[in-house]
Amino acid sequence: MAEIGIMDRRRWLLRLIYVRLLIFTIFVAAEASRKGGSIVDMLVLLAVVYALSVCWFGLLKLNGSYVWQSYTQLAVDLLLITWAINRTGGLDSYLTSLYFLVIVMSSILLERRGAFLAGTATSVIHFAHMDLSYFAYIPSTTVGWPDLPALQYIISLSIFGFCSVAFLSNFLAESWRKAGAELQKSTGQVAFLQAFSDRIMDSLGTGLITTDTEGQIYLFNRAAEDITRYRSAEALRLKVWELFPGLPEKVDSARFEIPTIRHDGVSVHLRFSVSPVMIDEKNTAGYVWCFDDVTELRALEQQMHQKEKMAAIGAMSAGIAHEIRNPLASIVGSLNLLQSDLKLDPDQRQLAEIITRETDRLNRTITEFLSYARPRKPNRERLDLAALISETVQLMRNSDELKQEHRIQTFLRPITADVDESMMRQVFYNLASNAFKAMPDGGTLTIALEARNGNAHIRFQDTGVGFEEDELKRLFVPFNSSFKNGTGLGLPIVYQIVNAHNGAIAVRSQKGVGTTVLIDL
């Protein structure tokens, strides 16, 4: 604060130099036009003023302290003004008012002490000048002197004016300095509060926007940038309806949710809370919009609803499947007895084999479904996932599902995890089996295992037929098979086992390009 005050007073000292140059230049020009004769002494005065101004300007640039220079400049100014008064009529000079300029500048530059000192010095110099001139001790250009009492009265009035100006200018300068200090303090507090407010808004995890009543955006915090993918400079040129496509023109509720599209083209679901900024009880200045991205939350809710729905269907279906399985076992047993007791011709034997094959297939389907509907808890143990995947690959190489046109690539790093061995074998086998079914004309299955963010990251990627967007949404729904003779339970069981291991599974697919299944354990 002190450094700022010093800089301000140094600027005033510089202004004094400029004002002195201007006043004395105008004074000399006025004297030249008034007298019209020789004004050599005035030109000498002007030359002295210019030389001193250059000197003062150089000292101000080089000197760190302004105080002694202020005293020197003001003292020299008093002498120059007195000399100019003496040369322009003395008692009748119109330049006597220049003394007031010295007193006012002393109040600004040197505070109370300087103001009273300047007032006293001005009074003494003016009194001495008038008296010495009156008694002819020094040359004077006064045309007619009054008598001594009248002169003393005139001098007293001038001294009273000098002291009054010193007092009033000091009072005003002190008030100005106090007001400046308070303003500077208030400005600093406002700047601190503004920075503090900006820091708070940028640290919020919720998007925050302020708009006027027309929807023009005026504030856009960092969380809003992250959610919308707009930079603040871009958003401040938009209206809120341009920022959020699909936002209704008139918002009837203070809280609502809308699906919209981010700046990068990604669809998101946002939850809004809108509050008016009131000027008074009736007038609104604008609105504050708080919003969050609830896309993942809504997706999780949808998954939970699906799980609850499937759990109810599974419980009911498990009972039905169990009731089917018992008579199915009786049918198979009865058929085996008939085959052993009866002599069947070739056509009858073929029909009996069909019955046996189809009942076995139905039994496997029921077994898979019961496994899905009544899952058991994982029996975890520390196992090498790379070894499990390698054994599954070896099993698939000897499977009838693998054709000559199929290729298997593995990129496996040795990683151990606490898993149920039989469950994970079923996961890997089901994923590999689905991959080969998705490549009826041949292709490549790539299996990768690596550590990522403290998890075991497993990737099964094929170059098969792929899935459409609608098919991907129903991928883990039971009995939704895309393959001939498929039960539609392979991937739902995989999903269930991964969840039982507190893992995550995701599927990416493009029609005609292939499918990638990602698992994190």
Distance CA 162, CA 168 (A): 10
| pLDDT on residue 486 | 61
Indicate the SS3 state at residue 274. strand
Distance CA 122, CA 6 (A): 25
| pLDDT on residue 460 | 93
CA 394 to chain centre: 53
Distance CA 373, CA 369 (A): 6
CA 222 to chain centre: 2
Distance CA 311, CA 317 (A): 10
Distance CA 97, CA 89 (A): 14
Distance CA 470, CA 255 (A): 31
Provide the token pair at 214.
């027309």
Distances 219 to 53, 212, 367 between C-alpha atoms, Å: 51, 10, 61
Helix H or strand E encompassing 83: helix 67-87
| pLDDT on residue 188 | 73
Any idea which residue has 């390009």 for tokens?
A: 513
| pLDDT on residue 470 | 77
Residue ranges for the chain with pLDDT beneath 50: 1-4
Indicate the SS3 state at residue 222. helix
For the CA atoms of 47, 51, 54, 60, what is the dihedral angle to 10 degrees? Answer: -130
- The total number of residues shown for the chain amounts to 521
Nearest to 385 by CA among 434, 425, 430: 425
| pLDDT on residue 4 | 38
Distance CA 410, CA 414 (A): 12
| pLDDT on residue 1 | 37
| pLDDT on residue 263 | 87
Nearest to 88 by CA among 31, 162, 159: 31
The residue type found at 421 is E
Pairing of strands 267-278, 255-261: antiparallel
| pLDDT on residue 461 | 92
Distance CA 329, CA 367 (A): 12
| pLDDT on residue 377 | 80
Indicate the SS3 state at residue 263. coil
Q: Please state, as a whole number, how many other Cβ atoms lie within 10 Å of the Cβ of residue 271.
A: 17
Any idea which residue has 């919209």 for tokens?
A: 260
Nearest to 125 by CA among 83, 72, 168, 170: 83
Distance CA 8, CA 166 (A): 21
Strand partners, 457: 450, 520
Supply the DSSP symbol for 417: E
Which segments within 201-308 are labelled E, that is strand?
207-212, 217-220, 255-261, 267-278, 284-293
Nearest to 270 by CA among 234, 251, 244: 244
